[in-house]
Amino acid sequence: MGRRAVSPGLPEPVPTEDGSPTLFSEEYGEHFHNLSGAALEARERYLVPCRIVELARARGRLSILDIGFGLGFNVALACEALREGAPEARVRITTLEKSPIPPALWRKLARGLLGGGTRSRGEEEITEGLATLLTAGEARLGPVEIKMRVGAAEDVIEDLEGPFDAVFLDPFSPDRNPELWTERFLGEVARKCRAGAILSTYSAAVRPRVALLRAGWRIGAGPRVGRKSSGTLATIGEVEPPIPPLTPREQRRLQRRAEEVREP
């Protein structure tokens, strides 16, 4: 699938069903988002299941690890939700990205994500804050401090400063981006998280779930988002309220595979 340039160096956004844009990655051969809705996916797949507003409000602080900045939608909408829902909390977001997009492309996409011609002051601040992040590697939006680590996530993970309370696991698919779905990588992510941390991802495939389980995560069912089947939630230890469980059949199948499969 190709893409048409609307201006030099900037690909044409692909509209999704909720009106927000996404892009097609030529490198990975996949869209960055579920075509049912890019903004919908960010909110309902990551922000809500990871309980970021509730945790920030209850604790007064929050640390998020975003694996796969991509087009920046998870980070942008997390900033928006936290500024509105937990404005007094101190929030730290660490985002990992191998190939950051140009700030000009982010600004173009932000018009479709955060509003069109007339935008609020908060939306403008988020747009320019993430443009600064892409340029300088760090930004501050009110109480939210954001840092980007550029490079292969499997290489930079060991040097990250935790602990994290929430993890957005949002790389390309296990078939296209397998290095970020291994037991080794997910185990390192687990070691960077505090007890009670919640991880959410769109994949419900057995192989990533086995890797998570063997890496020390407790596995549950993620929500259905648009036309996408349920993803996966995982926690370090127990959380209250508990995450939705897998079905007994899924649990048995996963446990059997976890006992059989050994990562080389």
What pLDDT, in 10s, does the model give residues 106-149?
Answer: 999 999 998 655 568 889 999 999 999 999 999 999 889 999 99
Band (61; pLDDT cuts 50, 70, 90): very high
- Higher per-residue pLDDT: 115 or 258: 258
- Higher per-residue pLDDT: 238 or 262: 238
- Rounded (5°) CA angle 178-51-101: 45
Whether residue 78 is predicted with pLDDT greater than 80 in this model: the reply is: yes
**Average of per-residue pLDDT across 184-192:** 98
Q: In sequence order, which residues have a C-beta less than 8 Å from that of residue 189 and are 6 or more positions away? A: 65, 67, 157, 167, 169, 199, 215
Level-2 CATH architecture, domain 39-260: 3-Layer(aba) Sandwich (3.40)
Closest C-alpha among 75, 84, 19 to residue 42: 75
- For 118, other C-beta atoms within 10 Å of its C-beta total 6
Residue 56, class by beta-carbon neighbours within 10 Å (0-12 exposed, 13-18 middle, 19+ buried)? buried
**Average of per-residue pLDDT across 152-166:** 96
- The dihedral of CA 23, 29, 35, 37: what is its sign? negative
Residue 6 is predicted with a pLDDT of 35
3-state secondary structure of 98: coil
**Average of per-residue pLDDT across 79-91:** 95
**Average of per-residue pLDDT across 62-81:** 97
- Higher per-residue pLDDT: 170 or 259: 170
Whether residue 264 is predicted with pLDDT greater than 90 in this model: the reply is: no
By the 8 A CB rule, do 180 and 68 touch?
yes
Does the pTM surpass 0.75? The reply is: yes
Whether residue 4 is predicted with pLDDT greater than 60 in this model: the reply is: no
What is the domain partition of the chain in residue ranges? 39-260
- For 68, other C-beta atoms within 10 Å of its C-beta total 20
Band (19; pLDDT cuts 50, 70, 90): very high
d(CA 57, CA 23): 33
Q: In sequence order, which residues have a C-beta less than 8 Å from that of residue 157 and are 6 or more positions away? A: 96, 185, 188, 189, 192
Whether residue 156 is predicted with pLDDT greater than 80 in this model: the reply is: yes
Residue 8 is predicted with a pLDDT of 47
Instruction: Spell 147-176 as b/e; 16+ CB within 10 A means b.
Output: bbbeeebeeebeebeeebbbbbbbbbebee
Whether residue 205 is predicted with pLDDT greater than 70 in this model: the reply is: yes
> What does the DSSP 8-state code read for residue 47?
I
The single residue listed with the structure tokens 């998870």 is 74
